[in-house]
Structures are given as structure tokens and as C-alpha cells.
Amino acid sequence: MGELVANNGSYILNNTTATNKTIDAIVVLEDTIFSSIRVAGSDVKSTYLADATKAIKAGAIITPINDLQFSGVSILSGSVALVLV
């Protein structure tokens, strides 16, 4: 099992501007609708969300699989804390 270290802190994303950062985890702070979750620049939202049209509830933690890291996130509504590597 991995650890959330946040060597570079965290970043609160609370607008619809695309964010490109090296991300170890996404913590949903309020009900949030994602427009993209990227790994190596490619949108992988469907890998992590069963229905991307619905809000992900506050408290959810999304971590990348296979020792990867997220390369960026965009949201349509809500807010998330990005745990930075």
C-alpha cells in the first residue's frame, strides 16, 4: 500500500481552469463534477468514475493505479484538494 506524502504540498482547485501538476491523489472537498482526470496528458476519467456526468461526493479520495501519477485535473463544479508529489 502506498503513502500520501505531499512532498510539494497540496493545491485547492475550486474553479474550472485546467490544472497541470504532478498529483498523487485527489481529495474531493465538496460534491464535484469532473471534466477530466489526466495521466500522461490523456483523459482517464472513465477509468476512475463509473458515471462521469454525476457529482462525486465530498470525502472521496481518488488515487492513481499502477504506481502512476495524475498529470492534471479539470472540474465543472465543486472543489478538490490535489496532493502534489
Residue range 25-62, pLDDT digits in tens: 999 999 999 999 999 999 999 999 999 999 999 999 99
Rounded Cα distance between 24 and 7, Å, is: 10
| Domain count for the chain | 1
pTM: 0.91
Is residue 20 a part of any domain in this protein? yes
Is residue 39 a part of any domain in this protein? yes
Q: Which range marks the domain in which residue 16 is found? A: 10-84
Give the model's confidence band at 7: pLDDT under 50 very low, under 70 low, under 90 confident, else very high: confident
Helix (H) or strand (E) holding 26: strand 23-39
Is residue 34 a part of any domain in this protein? yes
Is residue 2 a part of any domain in this protein? no
Of 39, 81, 84, nearest in space to 58 by CA: 81
Residues 6+ apart with CB under 8 A from 8: 22, 84, 85
Is residue 40 a part of any domain in this protein? yes
Is residue 1 a part of any domain in this protein? no
